[in-house]
Amino acid sequence: MQRVRLRYTKRGRLRFTSHRDFQRAFERALRRAEVPMAYSAGFTPHPKVSYANAAPTGTGSEAEFLEIALTERRDPEKLRELLDESLPDGLDITDAVEARTPGLADRLTASVWELRLEGVAAEDVERAVAAFLAADAVEVQRRTKNGMRTFDARAAVAGLQATPAPSDRPGQGPCAILRLVVRHVTPAVRPDDVLSGLRAVADLAPPVPAAVTRLAQGLFDEESGTVTDPLAPDREAVTAAPQKAAGPAAAPEPTGAGSA
């Protein structure tokens, strides 16, 4: 009867939860909030929840997306509040909109990531970024269930920029921030693959693991180099629907000078 798309976060220590852990927590929240879920058919029915391009375990995110199917209509904002209250702090539902357009997953074509590199000077990261961007290809390796795989990490990178960390940050010593825009390709290029590429081309090796957070994901605009909000088309369709239903205003009846 109704499909609702949700945006949620993984913050703080909850960045270490796996996708399966989140699925279990979210299904408990659905039951706790008494959401009228639609279920799949078969011997083991499951609530109809579609997850889209979940972030890897250990990375934070401000832009995770899913879609749920309901058997009764609900106000998306009230539904968001109920689910947010039913989830632990760090797994926060930040946006909800009724699905009015097809293909949410097709609109997730790129991600914006922030990588915090403690113990590394911004100047060293800038030199490594310049070498990475100047390369035609940067081959890296990743262990998969089928063994080691070699692929190009450079082609998927649409943007890479280094900046110094804010002066009022907690902690001591040098620190640099990497802002990465990466296209969603096959095989997927992850932030740690880009770090492996920086190590390969410029011997950049942070002394501690980078703190990685996804800031956004959506449709990549080739002209501007930005990533757009994937829920915007649904939000615009919801806004336009009442105007279309109302139709043009009726013209006033003409007034005659008098009766014949």
Q: pLDDT tens for residues 108-132?
A: 999 999 999 999 999 999 999 999 9
Verify that 87 and 139 share a domain, yes or no.
no
* pLDDT class of 251 with cuts at 50, 70, 90: very low
Q: pLDDT tens for residues 197-244?
A: 999 999 999 999 999 999 999 999 988 889 999 999 999 998 876 665
pLDDT at 173: 83
Verify that 9 and 92 share a domain, yes or no.
yes
Q: What percent of the chain has pLDDT over 90?
A: 78
Which of residues 52, 76, 106 is at a domain's end? 106
Verify that 94 and 112 share a domain, yes or no.
no
Verify that 159 and 195 share a domain, yes or no.
yes
Q: Decide if 28 is inside a domain.
A: yes
Q: Decide if 227 is inside a domain.
A: no
Q: Which range marks the domain in which residue 30 is found? A: 2-106
- Decide: pTM greater than 0.85: yes
* 3-state secondary structure labels for all residues of the chain: CEEEEEEEEECHHHHHCCHHHHHHHHHHHHHHCCCCECECCCCCCCECEEEECCCCCCCEEEEEEEEEEECCCCCHHHHHHHHHHHCCCCCCEEEEEECCCCCCHHHCCEEEEEEEEECCCHHHHHHHHHHHHHCCCCEEEEEECCEEEEEECCCCEEEEEEEECCCCCCCCCCEEEEEEEEECCCCCCCHHHHHHHHHHHHCCCCCCCCEEEEEEEEEEECCCCEEECCCHHHHHHHHHHHHHHHCCCCCCCCCCCCCC
Which of residues 66, 90, 106 is at a domain's end? 106
Q: Decide if 41 is inside a domain.
A: yes
Q: pLDDT tens for residues 53-79?
A: 999 999 999 999 999 999 999 999 999
Q: Decide if 248 is inside a domain.
A: no
